[in-house]
Amino acid sequence: MNHVLLTVSGVIPPDLEQQIAAGRRPRADYLELARHFGADLLDYRIARATSGVVGRLFEKLGGPNLMLAWACFTRRHHYQAIFTDGEQVGLPLAALLKFFSPNRRPRHLMIVHILSVPKKMVFLDRFGVHSHIDRFVVYSTWQQQFITSRWKLPPQRAPFTPFMVDDQFFHLRHAPPRPTPRPQICAVGLERRDYPTLLRAVTGLNADVVVAAASPWSKQRDSTRGQAIPPNVRVQKFSQYELRQLYSDSRFLVMPLEPVEFQAGVTAILESMAMERAVICTRTPGQTDVLVDGESGLYVPPRDPVALRAAIERLLAEPETAARMGRAGRRLVEERMNLDHYAARLTDLLYETLAEAGIETSTTKQRAGL
């Protein structure tokens, strides 16, 4: 029996491994983590099939993530650690552990996207469920500082780890750039994107702009809707396989963001960097831990179409600068921010957490040199 349970907030496609093997999509982070952890995976499909009447009631009342938290709770005595893939599962699980199994529980590690929103802050402030979260794994140093200061936690309880990309899939060798009638740039994603500012910035630009306004994760509204779309702009949806070619065919990526306190846009930024493309990004409190200004791209102020236009025109006029930044971004991904580094870092965190609690596994013994 595996000693770790890892949640997946979604349904794992039945042909996922075949798609990966065929090169149709990048490796899934949860598959790599499960392999490194020696973990069992728990997604919506498995949870629905095994969580019974209470699980179905929880899903009806609070959605599938509450049902997933309940399914984790019912399995708590079978695992030494539960690793939740976001606060949407981790917070309700922590509450269940605190109030219904306070003295006997597995270690709980929770990936954090954003906790600095009123609903989540009230939940933590009022119920104190952080006592049943052993590690808040954060992708943003802003979130790290917020969590440790607000709830008076030691830094090791909220370790920062850079996000990741599968740099084996997102590689120019798989999608060489194709010629375009004139320079092309792209913008990708939905989560807190400031596309109105981008559209103002690129109106009349002597370049084509492709906006991939879609995301398999975000529930945000497409902010291009209701906007006047300039003639040089095309808005459409792409699969991850198609996005790879879009990055390759584009001179660089533009990431226009609303002022946010978390790593909005990080997936597209890292995918673009892995494809050796420079990035122009809005400087926000939460999005400061990936791009190196002047090295792998450029930062611009929020909601400033003039500054954004100037940065775009600069990289269009200086293709050698854009290419140099793209190569630097690829190096950074290979050295620190690819999927393999990410899985190794989270594995270290997992076994540190188990060892801290005095829980021994064959792996913790091996790491201790026993």
* Identical fold, 4-164+338-367 and 172-336: yes
Tell me: pLDDT of 1 over 50: no
- What pLDDT, on a 0 to 100 scale, did the predictor assign at position 365? 44
What is the distance between the alpha carbons of residues 321 and 207, in angstroms, rounded to a whole number?
A: 17
CATH superfamily for domain 172-336: Glycogen Phosphorylase B; (3.40.50.2000)
pLDDT digits (tens, 9 = 90+) for 117-160: 999 998 899 999 999 999 999 999 999 999 999 999 999 999 99
> What's the pTM?
0.94
Tell me: pLDDT of 368 over 90: no
Q: List, in order, residues 6 or more apart from 108 with CB less than 8 Å away.
A: 81, 82, 84, 90, 93, 94, 97, 132, 133, 134, 135
Tokens at 196, concatenated: 């109105």
Name which of 48-62, 205-219, 311-325 the model is least confident about.
205-219
Instruction: Return the domain boundaries, the chain.
Output: 4-164+338-367, 172-336
Tell me: pLDDT of 369 over 60: no
- What pLDDT, on a 0 to 100 scale, did the predictor assign at position 226? 87
362 compared with 323, residue with greater pLDDT: 323
What is the distance between the alpha carbons of residues 203 and 184, in angstroms, rounded to a whole number?
A: 14
What is the CATH architecture assignment of 4-164+338-367? 3-Layer(aba) Sandwich (3.40)
Average pLDDT for residues 178-186, to the nearest whole number? 96
Mean pLDDT of the chain: 94
CB burial of 234-252 (b: ≥16 within 10 Å; e: otherwise) equals ebeebebbebbbbbbbbbb
pLDDT digits (tens, 9 = 90+) for 231-288: 999 999 999 899 999 999 999 999 999 999 999 999 999 999 999 999 999 999 999 9
